[in-house]
Amino acid sequence: MKTDYRLLVTIILLFVVQHMMPQINYYPSTKTFYEDGYVYQCDLDESGMLTLYNKDNRFTYARYANRDGTRVSDDVLLGRVQLIEDDNWTRRKCGEIANNVFSSSERVNVANGEYFVRLIVNTFTGKVDEVFFRFMYNDPFVTVPVSTFRKLELELKEKIWFTITPAGKKLKFIQIGWMQEVSPTPQLEKPKLL
């Protein structure tokens, strides 16, 4: 009985010490990350929102535009026009990838937190061309290194694609995004795409 008590106290102390240890904030300000073969940019705006993206991205801050240069209709901008076909696997797979990319220690730090994932979809191929992420300056996601977000970007580009509707094919690109909650353990999730 005494051994069980000591073990329990030891486990609790280890847990407390881990959470009391200072966590590295990788994104304290606007900053460029020169990594192994890629460059990421972190932009911190006046509201405290961080936008993290690959410097090769062209559409992180772009507005919808038609390929032919004409004005995009209000129906498209307000989401009244279907730009991608419904399917039975993409949303689940996006959530699964975005939830499971974190290591065990990262998962502990960000468990039950949410971050925003945005995909830029190529309207010719339906493939993901660009990915970027948003979270607040004081979210636990500031403790996650760029390499994890890079891994997520590459997995989404490799494993996700969409079937574009005729209306969607008129645009230069399609944006698809969602708030992703990270569960304490890897699991299947179905994010609500925005």
pLDDT in tens, 28-83: 999 999 999 999 999 999 999 999 999 999 999 999 999 999 999 999 999 999 99
Domain annotation covers residue 7:
no
DSSP-assigned letter for residue 74: H
- CA 38, CA 151: separation in Å to the nearest integer? 11
pLDDT exceeds cutoff 60 at 189: no
Which own/partner pairs from 66-75 qualify as long-range (CB within 8 Å, at least 24 positions apart)?
Answer: 66/170, 66/171, 66/172, 67/123, 67/170, 67/171, 67/172, 68/170, 72/171
Question: Number of structural domains, the chain?
Answer: 1
Residue 52: predicted pLDDT: 98
Domain annotation covers residue 189:
no
**pLDDT band at residue 13 using 50, 70 and 90 as cut-offs:** low
Domain annotation covers residue 188:
no
Tens of pLDDT, residues 94-140 = 999 999 999 999 999 998 889 999 999 999 999 999 999 999 999 99
Domain annotation covers residue 57:
yes
Residues spanned by the domain of 140 = 24-181
- CA 165, CA 81: separation in Å to the nearest integer? 10
Residue 12: predicted pLDDT: 62
Residue 179: predicted pLDDT: 96
Domain annotation covers residue 40:
yes
- CA 142, CA 137: separation in Å to the nearest integer? 7
Domain annotation covers residue 17:
no
Domain annotation covers residue 121:
yes
Residue 20: predicted pLDDT: 44
Least Cα distance to 84 among 43, 127, 31 occurs for 127
Least Cα distance to 84 among 189, 175, 153 occurs for 175
Domain annotation covers residue 147:
yes
User: Could you tell me if 174 and 168 are in contact, meaning their C-beta atoms sit under 8 angstroms apart?
Assistant: yes
